[in-house]
């Protein structure tokens, strides 16, 4: 039985910023994560991912949107089967889509929620990942940019990250990642991903 990861999300208070500023940015971000995504109703989106990249991609999307300054994103992650795959992700159907939609609808004041066939994984991951979200909510634009680049290029050293980010000194990248809680965040992403894959 093949399982898929579906992220359903939207941009919070999207009307506070010109859609021409963030929509192309959102689409390129989703394209970095997967070639299977849809943006609809202006500020809502769905993206299909491999299980190994699902949680990492949520924080990549978050960091990219946070790097715009005054925008935020809400996301629900569903893990499950897919019964029907349409050319448009938003028209596809299956347990993964149902779980993703339910996770998204249950967000209320939270910005991130996961739902899978394993309740114990859901409970642990939702606690850990929402603590990570609390850390991420304090990111400056520079911190968010640096975290996004680190997530997109996990094998690149800080010197190279500094070049990609047009920072003068590697120490700037080091400071930004430290203040962003990158080490703890990365460990939490890796742990939740490993625990998910162990159940599959």
pLDDT means over runs of 10, the chain (200 residues) = 95 86 94 95 93 98 94 96 91 96 94 98 97 96 97 94 94 96 96 96
Task: Show the tokens assigned to 153.
Answer: 């290029």
Q: 122, 12, 1: which is closest to 75 by C-alpha?
A: 12
> Bridge partners of 168?
none
Confidence (pTM): 0.96
Pairwise CA distance, residues 25 & 79, whole Å: 26
Q: 93: which residues sit within 8 A by CB, 6+ positions away?
A: 82, 83, 84
Q: What is the reported pLDDT for 119?
A: 97
Kindly give the pairing relationship between strand 112-115 and strand 72-80. Answer: parallel
Domains of the chain: 4-199 (3.30.70.270)
Q: What is the reported pLDDT for 26?
A: 95
Pairwise CA distance, residues 129 & 108, whole Å: 16
Q: What is the reported pLDDT for 19?
A: 87
Q: What is the reported pLDDT for 16?
A: 78
């Amino acid at each position: 039985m093949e399982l898929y990861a579906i992220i359903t999300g939207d941009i919070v208070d999207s009307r506070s910023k010109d859609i021409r500023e963030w929509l192309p940015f959102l689409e390129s971000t989703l394209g970095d994560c997967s070639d299977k995504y849809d943006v609809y109703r202006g500020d809502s989106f769905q993206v299909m991912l491999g299980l190994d990249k699902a949680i990492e991609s949520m924080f990549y999307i978050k960091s990219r949107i946070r790097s715009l300054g005054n925008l935020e994103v809400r996301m629900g992650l569903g893990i499950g089967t897919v019964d029907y795959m349409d050319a448009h992700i938003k028209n596809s159907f299956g347990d993964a889509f149902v779980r993703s939609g339910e996770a998204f609808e249950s967000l209320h004041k939270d910005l991130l929620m996961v739902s899978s066939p394993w309740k114990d994984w859901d409970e642990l991951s939702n606690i850990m990942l929402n603590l990570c979200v609390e850390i991420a909510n304090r990111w400056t634009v520079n911190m968010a940019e640096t975290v996004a680049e680190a997530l997109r290029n996990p094998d690149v050293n800080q010197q190279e990250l500094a070049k990609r980010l047009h920072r003068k000194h590697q120490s700037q990248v080091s400071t930004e990642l430290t203040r962003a809680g990158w080490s703890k965040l990365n460990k939490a992403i890796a742990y939740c991903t490993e625990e998910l894959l162990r159940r599959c």
